[in-house]
Amino acid sequence: MSANNKSIQKQCADHREILHAGDEAETSQVRREPWIDVGACNQLAQKTVQQVFVGDTKIALTCKDGEFGAISGVCNHFGGPLAEGTLAGDYVVCPWHSWMYHRSTGRGEPGNEHDCVATYEVCVLDGRVLIRSEP
């Protein structure tokens, strides 16, 4: 198993703990959260940045070192398609004018941290990538 796969499996295990730990009320609450299945983990882990949809919402899904991140797919500048950008370190680079957003926190690059895009929780469960539909 590669390092990436181990990390992905860890994300699975962590979320499984959330689903199965705690009292029944807590577990029920987690299960009511609007998690959306966006695809197979192994397939989505092949690209560093790609677009997925949660309902009508465009999401820039990233995968680095086996860890997924999800931020809005729409750039704050002029609405550029962040999912068509590239990953520079932990930052998604907009393909239009190169504004950058942290792939997990959504914050702008150093010096522009106040310029944020929405972030979404991601987890992997049973080989599927799930994104919470509310930022």
Report the sign of the C-alpha dihedral through residues 100, 87, 8, 70, in that order.
positive
- Cβ–Cβ < 8 Å for 93, 7: no
Structure letter (DSSP) for residue 63: E
Does residue 78 interact with ligand FES by CB under 6 A?
yes
Q: Does 93 bind ligand FES (CB under 6 A)?
A: no
In the list 94, 124, 125, 129, the residue contacting ligand FES (rule: CB under 6 A) is: 94
96 lines the binding site for ligand FES (CB under 6 A) = yes
Q: Which stretch binds ligand FES (CB under 6 A): 16-24, 40-48, 96-104, 106-114?
A: 96-104
- Report the distance separating Cα 123 and Cα 131, nearest Å: 7
**Which among 54, 52, 56 is positioned nearest to 44, based on CA atoms?**
52
Q: Does residue 91 interact with ligand FES by CB under 6 A?
A: no
Rounded to whole angstroms, the Cα distance separating 13 from 58 reads 27
Binding mask 12-51 for ligand FES (x = CB under 6 A): ----------------------------------------
Binding site for ligand FES (CB under 6 A): 75, 77-80, 94, 96-99
